[in-house]
Structure 1
Amino acid sequence: MAGDPTCNGHVRHWWKEAVFYQVWPRSFQDTNGDGIGDIPGVIARLDHIAGLGVDAIWLSPHYDSPNVDNGYDVRDYVSVAAEFGMMADFDRLLAETKARGMRLIVDMVVNHSSDEHAWFVESRAARDSDKRDFYVWHPGREGGTKPPNDWRSFFGGSAWSRDATTGDWYMHLFHEKQPDLNWESAAAREAIFEAMRFWLDKGVDGFRLDVIAFVSKEPGLPDYPPRHRKAPEYYHADGPRLMEHLTRMREEVYRGADKVAVGEAFGVTFEQAARLVAEGTGPLDMLIHFDAVRIDRAEGWRWKPFTLPDLKRVFSEQERLMGRTAWRTICLSNHDNPRLVSHFGDTSTPALRRRSAILLATLILTLKGTPFVYQGDEIGMTNYPFARIEEYDDVEAKGAWTDHVETGAVAAEEFLENMWRTTRDHARTPMQWDASPTGGFTTGTPWFHVHPDVGVINAATERADEGSIYHGYRRLIALRKATPPLVYGDYADLAPDDPRLFVFERRIGEEACLVALNMSSEDATLTVPERFVGAAPLMAEGAEPAGDAAAPLGGEIMLAPWESRIWRTTEG
């Protein structure tokens, strides 16, 4: 429940103080030898998760699905996919999670469903079907031969498909087998809300709401305005009834319960986010933004270089535009993005991989907002060496290949070089539990590639070494829990233009922490703000020499490559 406000205006909530751990069940742990992760496998590995000290698990879609988009095409919202187990397994997962003092939230995918969902099967059967208005249908242009507008699918091609049964077109902002639900229909909304209440009644602690900002469509379905043709996500995330739909959802589903609503904010600006998560009035509690994690994304699959000041600017802009109390998340990796240490760290040597992985953990766990850790990042898993399009599984990668390479618009070599840097498939290789050929993930044939570095990078090795990435996460999570400025403290970037150092302050009242991270392969000199001279060290990773880590902070300090430090001071 909400607690007394902090001295700087934050209302305390469990989800603000929590650290979340995302489980993508297909690649987490298989227990029946079919090569696919399952819910009993999640249960079997709960102690690994709990050992980190995290407070809550986000379980990616576990519902019955044809798996065109790896579970984000739901065939039945009140079910468990057969390959993952049975409803009794889910009930046991919920009980076992709570027995370890953790909470459980589940993914809810309600912008669209699978085209195999009973609602869509009935909707497409006839124009006068009772479920026709559950989805977005249109007769099309030019006598029905052309789609209603120029909207594009995020997975390639048009956002419209013509259905043979009636000749009408249905909308799908993602794959053609993922038709968009029509939130303008009261009956559709109530059916969605009923499915959500099913899981809350079971005892889950809330939802991560997939692409939830897209549920309000522009009336009249006009063509894209010119400014949105290359960035349609900003158009689709700004529908005129978004706040109304989400407010109704919050009232009718949550009904005042102390459960969290985490929105996926693809296309949502920081200004819009401030309204959606405003303390006391916003329908959502926090949003997972893409501005930082996709900072090196040009458009779609294309990669572009970025600088450290570019990255720092994201967090400063977030603070400026969202304000002090609108809550946010810190999420630099998930099932839709490359591996954290490969993306933002240094994997050139084992030592730098470890050091940079812990630095990135420090960043996630000390920035302002609720931290989200993705499975495998706590052991430093890296990007897979994809070389051919045939090695990819992701529908997004395959759709982009069709659109750009098979049409002759882009050379295969250029496409593959860019796709390797941006693909979601890096995050979906099986979890590496031990040094065996399948990484302890399965006794059968894994559904997807096991990384060739499994003999070196695995959870068994990590947990046995107190200096490992896993134990670095564990110590940092404990430090965050014990240090109020790292949860509710105000944020200020103290070196916005420095190309190597990320230095920021977290302050609540007279208590403050200084975080200094050398995000480069070169030594970097930190000139210490006067108010932090003499501050006590809280954490040092990669300090050279190590003895310096225990000394009070002086006026100037040298940080080694990928070294991370935290100090604490109390004024007055």
Structure 2
Amino acid sequence: MAELRDDPRWWTEAVVYQIYPRSFRDGNGDGIGDLPGIIEGLDHVAELGVDAIWLSPIYRSPMADFGYDVADHTDVDPVFGTLDDADRLIARAHELGLRVLLDWVPNHTSDQHPWFQASRSSRDDPRRDWYVWRDPAPDGGPPNNWISAFKGVPAWTLDEATGQYYLHSFLAEQPDLNWSNPEVEAAMHDTLRFWLDRGVDGFRADVVHLIGKGEELADLPERKASNLVVSIDEPFTHELLRRIRALLDSYPQHPMMVGEVYLLKPGQTVGYLGDDDELHLTFDFRTLHTAWDAGALRSVITTVQSEFAPPLWPTWVLSNHDRPRHRSRYGSLERARAAAVLTATVRGTPFIYAGEELGLEDAEIPADRVVDPDGRDGERAPIPWTTEPDHGWGPDPWLPFPPDSGDLSVEAQVADPRSTLHLYRELLGLRRAEATLRRGTMHVLGPDPERPEVLELHRQLEGETIAVAVNLGEGPVTIERPGTLLASSRPERERDVDFDGHLDVDEAVVVRTT
């Protein structure tokens, strides 16, 4: 069995695989993915060549927001299994050399959480101040002009029994915690300790930049008020993060926290790393909003590398449970495969969303099957495991499958050496074998006036250079880059031969230069 390296900065050389538990694998045939199913699928994940898994929320929840409305941070929802199942999953993952990250939801809870039930019971309840309560405005309306991230409604709901409004940045069923209260901070630290003591290796922190809102809660300019999640960027959050980091650093397994900091302006997310005393990593989502265009991608990669210059470390994300899959965004499997080459070779930590390695598209969801409050069902469709009609899920999966699920199933792609699954195994194996791709410096070449449609970057370490080139144009091109072809997004290409300089449309190559 593989062993976990005792390395405080293991996350700089890792590849993380995101599992959306409802959609990964069904262990009991009820049509909903669960922890036993994830355990069954861990061999597939380990063989892919990743280093860690991140599980979207598995806690007890009424599922108004499919687990991001937590009713108990220290238990597993029965739809996913039990605490014993969680322990078995952690143990099995560690046997396979995989670290385990859990989704941690610090900004809000479910309105069914015992904390909120107590808080709303009376203005005098000891937990009243655990949430954000305010008196109505003089006209009786909400206390400020903030708009919820979901449904475009005010971010405040009136509790008629107590005559005050409570804040919810998302659904009304997700009241925001008041992190200005030291008791809330202590209680949320305890939820981290609960899982760290069970052996988890870190956390993905959901919209963590929202937790330090402070007390003022003044009106925002209209544009910002209607886009609350990307507008809150308060200094108090950094104080809170430093104390969270100190807690994490006290554990021997070197736990890592990556933050969902959904701020899109240049330079904003990097501030949440602090002086190596806040988050270890922050997600950078600019690639999720960048078109398949050489100039646009070159600009984003260059900007991110500048902002996250050493010793800081960036992340790379093509898809996740909240955004359309990158094959759907880019419009073809060839582009999706080329993007995979780029993500596996840039400087930083790649996060792979389960199903990317199969080249899946978003599912088409009929109106009567839509269940998500923000319309994200397509990217959350179940992973097809077998070529059988039910793809290993039984007769009634919770959502429809993506297109071509039989041909794109794990079973079908394992048997096809030209498949996208084999490309991902090849790329992650190459990354693991080549220290230059894990630790080397990176230089993004400026556009070649004769071939502006080619995006090229160089990774360098101890005198070695590995070049990565992607053709984002409308026709084939030839580049001058002598060396050995290590990988290509095109399955028909022979590897470990002299590179002839040819780049097909939407092809990406990795070349050890000479």
Distance 1:435 1:111 in 2: 41
Alignment of 1:130-279 (within 5 A): 130-142=126-138, 145-156=140-151, 157-225=153-221, 228-229=224-225, 231-236=227-232, 238-255=233-250, 257=252, 258-267=254-263, 269-278=265-274
Change (3 A) 1:521 1:465: farther
Match of residue 321 from structure 1: 307
Change (3 A) 1:47 1:520: farther
The answer for unaligned runs of 5 or more in structure 1 is 4-11, 297-305, 347-352, 398-423
Number of aligned residue pairs: 506
> So what's the TM-score if we normalise by structure 1?
0.84
Which string of whole-angstrom CA distances, capped at 9 and with x for unpartnered residues, describes residues 380-432 of structure 1? 1112234x5444222013xxxxxxxxxxxxxxxxxxxxxxxxxx322211111
Change (3 A) 1:256 1:446: closer
Match of residue 9 from structure 1: none
Within the alignment, does 1:515 sit opposite 2:501 as a pair?
no
Distance 1:108 1:543 in 2: 39
Distance 2:485 2:29 in 1: 48
Match of residue 368 from structure 1: 347
Which string of whole-angstrom CA distances, capped at 9 and with x for unpartnered residues, describes residues 431-467 of structure 1? 1111222211x22411111234222221100011112
Amino acid at match of 2:299: R
CA deviation after TM superposition for structure 1 residue 537, in Å: 2.3
Within the alignment, does 1:284 sit opposite 2:279 as a pair?
yes
Distance 2:508 2:468 in 1: 8
Within the alignment, does 1:395 sit opposite 2:373 as a pair?
yes
Distance 1:517 1:140 in 2: 56
Within the alignment, does 1:446 sit opposite 2:425 as a pair?
no
Within the alignment, does 1:566 sit opposite 2:514 as a pair?
no
Distance 2:327 2:265 in 1: 26
Amino acid at match of 2:418: G
Could you tell me whether the CA contact under 8 Å between 1:307 and 1:499 is conserved in 2? no
Amino acid at match of 1:15: W
Distance 2:246 2:469 in 1: 42
Instruction: Give 2:296's match in structure 1, choosing from 310, 324, 332.
Output: 310
Which string of whole-angstrom CA distances, capped at 9 and with x for unpartnered residues, describes residues 92-133 of structure 1? 001111111111111001111101000000000011111111
Q: What SS does the corresponding residue of 1:77 show, helix, strand or coil? A: strand
Match of residue 335 from structure 1: 321
Change (3 A) 1:345 1:250: same
Could you tell me whether the CA contact under 8 Å between 1:313 and 1:496 is conserved in 2? no
Distance 1:2 1:95 in 2: 17
The answer for unaligned runs of 5 or more in structure 2 is none
Distance 2:384 2:491 in 1: 29
Change (3 A) 1:466 1:52: same
Match of residue 494 from structure 1: 445
Instruction: Give 2:389's match in structure 1, choosing from 419, 434, 437.
Output: 437
Could you tell me whether the CA contact under 8 Å between 2:453 and 2:473 is conserved in 1? yes
Superposition RMSD in Å: 2.2
Within the alignment, does 1:425 sit opposite 2:377 as a pair?
yes
Could you tell me whether the CA contact under 8 Å between 1:341 and 1:360 is conserved in 2? no
Q: Percent identity?
A: 38
CA deviation after TM superposition for structure 1 residue 255, in Å: 1.9
Match of residue 420 from structure 1: none
Change (3 A) 1:128 1:254: farther
Which string of whole-angstrom CA distances, capped at 9 and with x for unpartnered residues, describes residues 341-383 of structure 1? 222251xxxxxx2x43332221111111111111111111112
Could you tell me whether the CA contact under 8 Å between 1:110 and 1:192 is conserved in 2? yes
Could you tell me whether the CA contact under 8 Å between 2:283 and 2:316 is conserved in 1? yes
